[in-house]
Amino acid sequence: MTNRESVIEEYAHSCRIIEDECEGDYNKYHYEGPIGRIRTFENPDKARLYADVQTVTGGFREEKTGKLAHPPPSLDRVKTC
């Protein structure tokens, strides 16, 4: 089985989305940052949404998110119209 990876989107701060083309299986989409692979998705649109939120908020950590019934602190500051 051969995998081929290619960059499909690039973002600020050395972040990007990589498409991992898997022969005989569904492709995977990885959000990567300066410290390496952060999260993997089966859908490119979900990977782009995640990357957009990371970019707009300046990044956030997912640990314990939702356990306290409120969004991560960085999302509390995002204003909506």
Stated as kind and residue range, the H or E segment containing 38 is strand 36-41
Neighbours of 11 (CB within 10 A): 16
- Please, which pLDDT band fits residue 20 given cuts at 50, 70 and 90? very high
- Say what the pLDDT of residue 2 is: 59
pLDDT of 29 strictly over 60: yes
- Say what the pLDDT of residue 22 is: 82
> Domain segments of the chain: what residues?
3-70
Token pair of 1, please? Answer: 């089985």
